[in-house]
Amino acid sequence: MMSEYAGPMGLANQEIRDAIDRFTAERLGSRRLPALLERTDTMLTELETLNLMEARRTPAPLRSALTALIAELPFEYTPRIGPRPKPTAAIDVVFEIQAGIFNLMYGTEPVDQLTEPADRLIEVAS
């Protein structure tokens, strides 16, 4: 008895299924990064407001949201902050996360690798 997946038609069907799966995965990925970026923008707004209000620490709900965001990142990231950070420290972490997201979205290198040391810069006379 011949399997329904045997032969040229079965191979073509499998290739179509694989192409659909790849397309679906790419679409989900292309939507995921902008959604993560939007979450970071919302967090920055909240953190900047706290900073302007001279808050001493980032509130627990915002720390939890930051922890959840880090857990969902499609790249490895370990924040360099303590358990009860100041808003400015949390802002720095969100900026680092955004840099990683932009790197995935646009294939850019991290800023540290793009900049040249100051002693190599050429001054332009005006």
Going from N- to C-terminal start, the domains of the chain cover: 32-108
Q: What is the per-residue pLDDT for 26?
A: 67
SS3 annotation, the chain? CCCCCCHHHHHHHHHHHHHHHHHHHHHHHHHHHHHHHHHHHHHHHHHHHHHHCCCCCCCHHHHHHHHHHHHCCCCCCCCCCCCCCCHHHHHHHHHHHHHHHHHHHHCCCCHHHHCCCHHHCCCCCC
Q: What is the per-residue pLDDT for 90?
A: 96
For the ranges 51-55, 64-68, 106-110, the lowest mean pLDDT is seen at 106-110
pLDDT band at 121 (very low <50, low <70, confident <90, very high): very low
Percent of the chain with pLDDT over 90: 52
- pTM higher than the cut 0.75: no
Q: What is the per-residue pLDDT for 29?
A: 59
